[in-house]
Chain A
Amino acid sequence: MNVEMTKDVVRMTVTPGNPPQPSSPTARPPRVAVGPSPAMRAGSVLQAIREGASVTSAVHPSVHAHPAAVDIRGFELWYGSFKALHSVSMPIPRGRVTAMVGPSGCGKSTLLRSINRMNDLVDGVRTTGALHVGEHDVYAGGVDVISIRRRVGMVFQKSNPFPMSIFDNVVYGLRIYGERRKDVLQECCERALRQAALWDEVKDRLKQSAIGLSGGQQQRLCIARSIAVNPEVLLMDEPCSALDPIATQKIEELIREIAEKLTVVIVTHNMQQAARVSNYTAFMYLGRLVEFGSTADIFQNPQLPETEQYVTGRFG
């Protein structure tokens, strides 16, 4: 039986006095995965979730091959009285692209926005459990939220260039951190725009308004703006959902390139996109992490038939 009350199992990993050490492979959390059982009927896990039961996440051992850039342990989140995340535990591997997939309302965006504490902006949000970015406990009391957000960049569903010049957009983060030296700003601007594969298109009009760029260019500008401040992790919340296929293709190439330098976590509704850009994929459903493993395994050899049904488009 793969459905059981496993809250206690997960909780064990987050007891006080036993702080997680995400970068140390010896401190790996106990794997709580459940292998596919012959007796399992397709849909039974999702049915159990719909009935409100706690389920064990099927976390593949392969996700521990890299040290975790973001380590989430027994993380739960409430919007007021609504519980949006149920004891999510997942180590997000460093220097890799991790995709979060799942039907609308499954909590993938909520989980993504928990990593840089953007959920703080919503009234009545409460959390329990632990969420570490590198060595830093994001939800520790008295933590400097601003310094967390400087380590964790974010790209939004809809491009949000500021109403100022392209140059000013890219160096905005540096400027609000107090950088004033012109040569430093110019150097960072060029480097970020080159990384975002936008330099050749805009190098002659850096002083022009960013609002005049096309949708795809605006989104790449937002990526450039995020990576200009050298974050450790880049969160992307459906970054291509408002773009045409060609612009989407460019962003996807870009994601694969920047992932060599930092950790990318991307939420997407597009299974092909997850398969194309990510190294790891997490499947979520109604606030639970259902299965998390390498993208190849999730798409070709998932442990749970529910995951296979979802990623092949037969449900969701």
Chain B
Amino acid sequence: MPTPPTTPQPGAATAARAGAGGRSRPWGDVVLGSLSTGAAITIVLLLAMIVLIVVVSAWPSIKAYGLPFLTESTWRPNELEETLRDPQGRIVYDDDGEPKTVIEPASFGAAPFIWGTAVSSALALIVAVPLSIGAALFIVRVAPRLRIAEPLGFLIEFLAAIPSIAYGIWGIFVLRPFLEKHLEPALRWLLGDLPFMRWMFFRTLADGTEVPIPLTGRDMLAGGLILAVMIIPIITAVSRDVLRTVPRAQVEGVLALGGTWWQSCAAMLRYGRAGLFGAVMLGLARAAGETMAVTMVIGNVNQISLSPLAPAQTMSSLLAMDAGDPNNPLHFSSLFYIALILLVMSLVFNVIARWLVVGSKARTFGS
């Protein structure tokens, strides 16, 4: 008599496991799944908290100054005791024969720093964009023939990884003396006598007299140049990737029509123009947010001057200088207001850049 099987058939067992799997997931999946979900939520919360703290901390300053904060050019963290003068400019004395004084309250405005950030970033772009796009074109069109595309690409990515303080040290000990001793005197020698270039070398005092701006090498030009060095890697790397996505048929189409090598390069740049613009925006975002190296060479003077040879201050360098020891609650709050401006600006630049770069890749691969 055959004994009935004591164990279920293999097929039945598999079916049972599959059925169980369909109803409840293994506990390892559950744990890892919730861990990674938790990590993602943590990051989003962290970002939300930072934005919230910045907005809340900036609120007193936002309430006090509103949007005119952006165009106000006074940044005076301390109360100012000033001698009172009558409308004719004479000192007013009190009954004891002492000069009367008035207390000017602390006052804050972001204009010098917005100006500083805008001009230093613009200088950086003027220097960095032609160099970076030229280098990217070299890597895509020339370097492969010489078998140096890979090492060059690696070097450029390495440049992007150098900590900004290293650039700062180089700025102080190499760039600044070079500007002070060579470049700026040469500029003054070359352009100083031209009447329409006086704005660059002289500043006008309150009483209307013009005095020469001292050439120190710690000025807007130094800030712009060091930013240029720092954003060249990212613009080059992204431009190279954009140019690599230009279809070969575009280049061949120009050459087959009897175009020159340069005309085919121009076609390449034209095809990738949206992505290249995105690369420039990424560079701009980095230039606007860059802090340490700029703080070390820009001169740290809270003023608006047309001249690139005058010292200046950017939003981020101001935060680095002032954040350690705010004088009063409004100072503290105004620093956060500036941080908020920086944050919104970087967000806008990055969103535009990503939209352009990703969009250009989608157009290339989609068509």
Contact = CB atoms under 8 A, between A and B. Distances in A.
Contacts of B270: 162-164
A63 B120 CA distance: 70
A246 interface: no
Contacts of A65: none
A162 B263 contact: no
Contacts of A163: 270-271
Contacts of A225: 257
A35 to B, nearest CB: 39
A146 B249 contact: no
Given A123-B145, A176-B263, A211-B367, A160 B258 contact: no
B140 interface: no
Contact of B257 (A123, A158, A164, A226): A226
Contacts of B78: none
A156 B249 contact: yes
Query: Which A-B residue pairs are the 6 nearest by beta carbons?
Result: A150-B258, A160-B249, A154-B256, A173-B257, A149-B258, A160-B253
A176 B261 CA distance: 12
Contacts of B254: 162, 172, 176
B157 interface: no
B367 A146 contact: no
A116 interface: yes
A147 B259 CA distance: 9
Interface in A41-59: none
A176 B256 contact: no
A160 B259 CA distance: 15
8 contacts: A116-B256, A118-B252, A156-B253, A156-B256, A162-B253, A162-B254, A211-B367, A229-B257
Given A149-B255, A149-B257, 19 more contacts: A116-B256, A118-B252, A118-B255, A146-B260, A150-B258, A154-B256, A160-B249, A160-B250, A160-B253, A162-B254, A162-B267, A164-B270, A173-B258, A176-B263, A211-B367, A222-B253, A225-B257, A226-B257, A229-B257
A121 interface: yes
A158 B254 CA distance: 14
A229 B258 contact: yes
Interface string B295-313: 0000000000000000000
A176 B259 contact: yes
B252 A121 contact: yes
Interface in B122-162: 144-145
Interface of A: 116, 118, 121, 123, 146-147, 149-150, 153-154, 156, 158, 160, 162-164, 172-173, 176-177, 211, 222, 225-226, 229
B247 interface: yes
Interface of B: 144-145, 247, 249-260, 263, 267, 270-271, 367
A160 B257 CA distance: 12
A172 B250 CA distance: 13
B258 A147 contact: yes
A154 B259 CA distance: 12
Nearest to A157: B249
A20 to B, nearest CB: 24
A158 B367 CA distance: 11
B249 A158 contact: yes
A229 B250 CA distance: 18
Contacts of A229: 257-258
B250 A162 contact: yes
Given A160-B250, A222-B253, A177 B258 contact: yes
A147 to B, nearest CB: 7
Contacts of B267: 162
A222 B258 CA distance: 14
A118 B256 contact: yes
Contacts of B257: 149-150, 153, 172-173, 176, 225-226, 229
A185 to B, nearest CB: 15
Contacts of A211: 367
A160 B267 CA distance: 12
A116 B254 CA distance: 13
Contacts of A121: 251-252, 255
A154 B255 CA distance: 10
A241 B144 CA distance: 30
Contacts of A222: 253
Contacts of B259: 146, 176
Contacts of B260: 146, 176
Nearest to A154: B256
A160 B247 contact: yes
B252 A160 contact: yes
A267 B38 CA distance: 59
A163 B271 CA distance: 6
A177 B145 CA distance: 27
Contacts of A156: 249, 252-253, 256
A149 to B, nearest CB: 4
